[in-house]
Amino acid sequence: MSATPEMHSVDVNGFDAAALAIVEHALTEDIGTGDITTDGAVPEFARCTAELVFEESGVVCGLALAAAVFERLDPDFSVEIVVPDGERVGATPAVIARLEGRARAVLTGERVALNLLGRLSGIATATRRYVDEVAGTGTTILDTRKTTPGLRLLERYAVACGGGTNHRSGLYDAVLIKENHIRIAGGVGSAIAAVRAAQPGMPVEVEVESEAELDEALAAGAERILLDNMTPERVEASVKRVDGRAWLEASGGITFDTVRTFAETGVDAISIGALTHSVRSLDVSLEVS
C-alpha cells in the first residue's frame, strides 16, 4: 500500500436496495428508541472527523455498507475511501477510510458499521487465503448456503471480494440434488429424471458418495457432479473416471491445510462452507480525530 493512496468516493445511492434494507434493520436493532448515551453527551449539531482503521492485515470489504450506515443517520455525511473493497492491507494499523459529519451520527453508527466491516472483511480475507492456496491449479473456490440467516447477500459479496466464486444464491436458482433427495426419490437416476421433468432445460448438479452413484449420475446425463466427503485419492480417481463428461465439485471436510491437495486432483471446483459459517471477524476500529 502506497504512502499516499488514491482516494475513492462511495456512491451509496447506487448500492443494492436489499443490502440497504439489511443496514436499516441493523440500525433499528441497535438504536431502538434512541441512542440515550450519545444524545445525552454530544451536542446535537456538533461535527467531527474520524478514521476507519484496520488493526490487522486482511482484505477490505463492506465500506459502501459502512457509508450507508452513516449516511442513513446524517444525509450530509461524507466518506472517502482510502483502501477500496477487494484490496489487501498489509502493514497495520492502516487507515481504510476517512469520515466527516455530525458527531452523533459517527458515534451512533459506529458499532453497526464496524460489525459489518469486520464480518465481511473476515470472510473476504479467509476467501483470499483459499484462493491463493490453490493458485495455478485451475480449481475455483466456491461458497455454500451455510451463511448467516438474513446476511447471505452480503456474505456472498464478501466471498467475491476475496476472489472466490458464488455458487447458487438459494434453492430457487440452481438444481443441486443432495443425499436426502436421492433417498426419497429412490436413487440418483430417479432423482435426476424427476428434476428434469419438473425443470426442463435447467442444468442438474447431483451429489454422489460412491463410484456406483458417480456412474449412475453420468448415465443420467448430469452436467455437474458434487463429490461428497471423498479423500483426495478418490477425488482424483473420479476426475479420471469422468474424463471431462461433467463438471466436478469436491466438498465436505476440506480445510485450508488440505485444499491444495484436493485442487491438484484436477477437480473443477471446491466448495468451502467455512468461508461463511465459522470465519473470524477482522479487527477494525473507528477513531475520532
What are the catalytic residues? Answer: 111, 146, 178, 207, 228
DSSP assignment of 100-162: EEEHHHHHHHHHHHHHHHHHHHHHHHHHHHHHHHTTTS-PEEE--S---TT-HHHHHHHHHHT
Helix residue ranges per DSSP H, 221-279: 232-242, 256-263, 274-277
Amino acid letter for position 137: T
Measured distance CA(188)–CA(203) in Å, rounded: 15
Give the whole-angstrom CA distance, residue 85 versus residue 67: 12
Q: Are 123 and 275 in contact (CB under 8 A)?
A: yes
- For residues 244 and 117, the answer to whether their CB atoms sit within 8 Å is no
Span between the terminal Cα atoms of the chain, in Å = 22
Any idea which residue has 459479496 for its cell? Answer: 157
